[in-house]
Amino acid sequence: MTADKKTSAKTEQIKGAVKETVGRAVGNERMTAEGRAERAKGDLRQAGHKARDAMER
């Protein structure tokens, strides 16, 4: 996985976690759900890149 892609996947995970936490803190279910979805998207992207890296070895 290239450094740019790894960074973007990790950034997406962190942004999602922050958004989810803020949504819970203020009681905004929509923001919580958006954060959870964004974090999951980053997790999937990272898993895909790790699988691709494993196949290259």
Q: Which of 56, 12, 19 minimizes the C-alpha distance to 35?
A: 19
29 is in which domain, residue-wise? 3-56
Count of structural domains within the chain? 1
pLDDT at 38: 96
pLDDT category of residue 53 using cuts at 50, 70 and 90: confident
- pLDDT tens digits for range 12-44: 999 999 999 999 999 999 999 999 999 999 999
pLDDT at 7 over 80: yes
pLDDT at 51 over 70: yes
Amino acid residing at 22: V
Rounded to whole angstroms, the Cα distance separating 55 from 51 reads 6
pLDDT category of residue 1 using cuts at 50, 70 and 90: low
